[in-house]
Amino acid sequence: MSGDAVDEASARAARQLIEAKAAVDAAFGEGHAAAHPELVAAMVQAAAIHAAILNGRQATTEIAGTLLQLKPRLFG
């Protein structure tokens, strides 16, 4: 991973953590996130899984497009 990609991933993780803590406190009351870090961790994990799925979907779409462009060259 390049330095930029690592920095971007770190920034995304930090944002997800802040947003998860805020969402837990908004839903269950101030201080609930601090009292239940496992809930915050689960939300951050879910956000990371969702981001990975979206990245995989984008990559698959790009690969499919490239294969369709190459199809005439490969198969006549």
pTM of the model: 0.72
Q: What is the pLDDT of residue 30?
A: 97
- Contact call for residues 20 and 40 (beta carbons, < 8 A): yes
Q: How many residues does this entry show for the chain?
A: 76
- Residue with the bigger pLDDT between 1 and 46: it is 46
Per-residue pLDDT tens digits for 37-68: 999 999 999 999 999 999 999 999 999 999 99
- Asked if pLDDT for residue 35 goes beyond 80, the answer is yes
Mean pLDDT of all residues in 2-11: 88
Residue spans per domain, the chain: 3-75
Q: How far is CA 36 from CA 12, 25, 40, 45, in A?
A: 22, 10, 7, 15
Q: What is the CA radius of gyration of the chain?
A: 19
Rounded CA-CA distance 63/45 in Å is 27
